[in-house]
Amino acid sequence: MNIVWVFLGSGLGGAFRYLLSNAAYWLLGRNFPWGTLLVNASGSFLMGVLFSLLLSRYVAYAPQLRLFLLVGFLGGYTTFSSFSIETWNLLESGAWVSGMMNVLMHIVLCLGLTWLGILWGRQL
């Protein structure tokens, strides 16, 4: 049954990633990988919130919820491979500043939002 939770969560997460990425590119343009940054940053925040809640409030359901939400949904929602290829494409095309900004923004924003999500999740 565990694989079913991961399967369902990852399909749903992938669909949400597709929708949010396309919305970001439609609104902000394609001159920078805004969609991937938005998805990975929001996924990092959700990881912190959900991780905290599973440890504090939903302990009885934690194994199944962890598989569905953290491994499945957020695994399908966030994307390191897209971040990697988009950064590579920026660097290879000579857009060194944008490439380095993408790396820096992902690291700072995603780690910072994970921390904020954990803090917020502990307060819920």
Digit-coded pLDDT (tens) for 6-32: 999 999 999 999 999 999 999 999 999
From the CB of residue 1, how many other CB atoms can be counted at a distance below 10 Å? 6
Indicate yes or no: pTM above 0.75: yes
Residue 102 has pLDDT above 90, yes or no: yes
Digit-coded pLDDT (tens) for 74-86: 999 999 989 999 9
Structure tokens belonging to residue 54: 């599973």
Contact (CB, 8 A) for 32 and 87: no
